[in-house]
Amino acid sequence: MANPRQSRRIMLPTLAASSAAAVAAGLLALSPSGGASAQPRPGTGPAAAPFEIKTISSGWNFPWATSWLPDGSALVTERDSFQVSRLTQSGTRTRIPVAPSLAAAEKAGGDLLGIAVSPNWSRDHHVYVYHGVKEGNRIARMTYDGSTLSNYKVLVTGIKRGLHEGGRLKFGPDGYLYATTGDADTASDAQDKKSLNGKILRMTGDGKPAPGNPFGNLVYSYGHRNPQGITWDAEGRLWETEIGHNKWDELNLIRAGKNFGWPTCEGRCSTTGLENPARQWRPREGGVPSGLTYTEGALYVTSLKGQRLWRIPVTGSTLGTSVAHYVGEYGRLRSVEKVPGKRALWITTDRAGKDADRVLQVELG
């Protein structure tokens, strides 16, 4: 296990929504070489700010998503191998045999991405996964009996595959399952409300449109390019991270039925009827966001190309000053989740090399 390390932080001035020029100027100040650094100690920094980090588990290959079981252990997917593992908070890893239908999907060249444990675990023991097959991406459900994942059932099909896949699964505070889907390299699909691509989907545990969906189908919001992380704040507001094309990456406050602009807009724009991001990043300046979680008044965002963990305070629907932690120290960072029962986060590294990815625990002071 690695020795705990103190967080190194870079301050980002709050972005002014009223001025696109101010936005750009603030974000160009993200460069690690140009930012101030700090090494907070427990109890001396902002509430719930990262102050140390340690390795919980090593030897992973492209860990993509994490979902917590009621006992405090987690299910973790590996993208390319289609492996699902159970990982305890003490670092014990157990590889779980999966249903033949899921195991066979690996040979079709797809990816195993999101995973979500049922909120009704005590009565159903259901686990949901988002993965690819030859025909496209799908959402499926299995049953976990503590040793194997079985009873594979396909719930949603018709999600095209491509470089922009989305793939996150999470249950919301309303008890419904949310999924992010990329535009699969066909940008126009993001604006087609009948297409499942370029969307955030909302569904029942059986894969049917959830009551109250704005268009009577699975679509909850549209106009997304490659939506990645989703989470809910203390007031139940839905937030989403999104990878843009080459100008801007985004953090969005999601509302049902709203159009988030792609491909007409990338980042902020003045087109009527399109939602602007709550925050945006240049890909080369700390952007290409992935995972997203909320705890104790702040959003936490992992960055792939930016190789950092962002902490962004939230007051109502207003975002405060962003602070970057661990810039370049652990490589690309993929997922982030609040650890149940602890003031801590789990984050996973991404593409570190064969058997070189890790699950890291960030203590919050």
Which pair of tokens denotes residue 142?
């299995």
Give CA–CA dist 335/320, Å, rounded. 22
Residue 264 and residue 230 in contact, taking contact as beta carbons nearer than 8 Å: no
pLDDT in tens, 15-59: 333 333 333 333 333 333 223 333 444 444 456 789 899 999 999
Q: Answer whether residue 26 is part of any domain.
A: no
Give CA–CA dist 166/199, Å, rounded. 9
| pLDDT at residue 75 is higher than 50 | yes
Pick from 192, 122, 123, 117: nearest CA to 159: 192
Number of domains in the chain: 1
Q: What is the CATH number of the domain that holds 111?
A: 2.120.10.30
Q: Answer whether residue 280 is part of any domain.
A: yes
pTM, entire model: 0.90
| pLDDT at residue 349 is higher than 60 | yes
Rounding to the nearest 10 degrees, give the CA dihedral for residues 20, 315, 13, 221. -40
Q: Answer whether residue 142 is part of any domain.
A: yes
Q: Answer whether residue 40 is part of any domain.
A: no
Phi and psi, residue 87, nearest 5° = -125, 120
**Which helix H or strand E contains 20, and what residues bound it?**
helix 20-28
Domain that holds residue 340: 56-292+332-357
**Mean pLDDT, the chain, integer:** 89
The pLDDT score that the predictor gives to residue 21 is 32
Local structure of 30: helix, strand or coil? coil
Q: Answer whether residue 72 is part of any domain.
A: yes
The pLDDT score that the predictor gives to residue 144 is 98
Tell me the mean pLDDT in the region 216-221: 98
Q: Answer whether residue 31 is part of any domain.
A: no
Give CA–CA dist 221/7, Å, rounded. 35
Q: How far is CA 6 from CA 40, 90, 211, in A?
A: 7, 21, 46
Give CA–CA dist 259/299, Å, rounded. 22
Q: Answer whether residue 256 is part of any domain.
A: yes
Q: Answer whether residue 314 is part of any domain.
A: no
